[in-house]
Amino acid sequence: MRKNKEFANRGYALIPKFAYVPQEDRFLLSTGQPHYRFNVIGTGVNGQEHISVTMLEGRATIHGVYDPNPSSVEAARRVKARFSEEPLVAYQSLEAACNDPAVDALIICTPNFTHLEVLKTAVQSGKHILLEKPMATNLKDAHEIWRMAQTYPKHLQVGLQYRYKPIYVEALHEAKERRSLGEVKTITILEHREPFLDKVKQWNKFSKYSGGTLVEKCCHYFDLFNLFAESRPVSVYASGSQAVNFKDFEYGGEKSDILDNAFVIVEYQNGVRANFNLCMFAPMIYEEIVLCGNEGHLKASEGFNSQAHSEWKSQVEVICLPERTSRTLTPSYPFFIEETGHNGGTYYEHLRFMDTLEGHPSNAATAEEGFWSVVIGVAAEESVKRGAKVMVRELLEASGLGKLV
């Protein structure tokens, strides 16, 4: 683990007004030297965020990138230049980026539908890998990635970083470590937000490339469902539509088909029930989780009003039976970490990735956990199409994966 001094002062060391202090005169503002070098495959919005948090965390540096879009490569150069004068290597092929012996690990941030094919090349390198979510757009590809991870000699982590957002860290602590709620019986998560942003070739506007909104966006929340339920899903029922967003959008002669709102109900083997409420045409960013146990209730939320001056707000409220203490918390990370994206979740995901590389225990998302988050997303998309409940066993059997249940 990095020294506390380095953690506490690294953000200040990177503030421009302190740039005048020579390296030999830095003590509190010393950032230390990186021990590892990473390459990033795919440098869109998510790839740039991974570059930023890698450089900020400091135990590693970004050595190079591969992306066939020149504008994405230039954006990656600008991000690294905020932290280091070292030039960024731009590779001309995926193979070259994966197999450079100067590099210790790979971060894959390419479009969802490319993950399996990119990973097939990446694993030939024998390097540590951080694969962005969702790990795949369908069950067969997701299972193949899980199977690959089981025999892969190095660490393969899936980028489900919402488990590291402050409100969910505290909710997990209250529910699973303090046991403040007793046995969790019901889980409710809500996300109301603005529409999907633009991507290169607009792949996120089409279900065949993204896996659908309930896979692409909501795998984060289904991962949280699984963490709190501590069980396997039995059935999924979902209702959703494309009510507002991209109804008249076309690209390459195809019309957008992604959902912009949905309600999803998941039933688990142990009797836990979970429900999810999504709206992607709200003029705000807001998330909420409510947990009910046989001994208490927890509500946690975060968000801000993007249409007016508003500060980001996070809160956790725990209400327990009389023999336990109830409390209200305001969970947060240091400001320079929360500003890196996903309210600091990606930064702390990188901490876990680095810890694993250094031989420390980690609770980062595994390929198995990534698979089950995709299962619920795929089942939910299928339920919307059918207008009926989907049994997980039947869904897996239809993909030749019945042995998993």
Checking if the pLDDT of 5 tops 50, the result is no
Output the pTM of the full model: 0.94
Q: Give the tens place of pLDDT for each residue, 367-382.
A: 999 999 999 999 999 9
pLDDT, one tens digit per residue, over 266-315 is 999 999 999 999 999 999 999 999 999 999 999 999 998 877 766 778 99
How many Å apart are CA 298 and CA 317, to the nearest integer? 6
Q: Where are the domains of the chain?
A: 4-161, 163-404
Residue 393 pLDDT > 90, yes or no?
yes
What confidence category does residue 99 fall into, taking pLDDT thresholds of 50, 70 and 90?
A: very high
Other C-beta atoms closer than 10 Å to the C-beta of 402 total 12
Confidence bin at 230 (pLDDT 50/70/90) = very high
CATH architecture group of domain 4-161: 3-Layer(aba) Sandwich (3.40)
Fold of 163-404: Dihydrodipicolinate Reductase; domain 2 (3.30.360)
Q: How does pLDDT run across 142-201, given as a tens digit for each residue?
A: 999 999 999 999 999 999 999 999 999 999 999 999 999 999 999 999 999 999 999 999
DSSP 103: -
pLDDT band with cut points at 50, 70 and 90 for residue 2: very low
pLDDT at residue 9, rounded to an integer: 58
Cis peptide before 134 (omega within 30 of 0): yes
Q: Mean pLDDT for the chain? A: 93
pLDDT in tens, 105-146: 999 999 999 999 999 999 999 999 999 999 999 999 999 999
- 314-336 as b/e: b if 16+ CB within 10 A: bbbebebeeebeeeebebbbeee
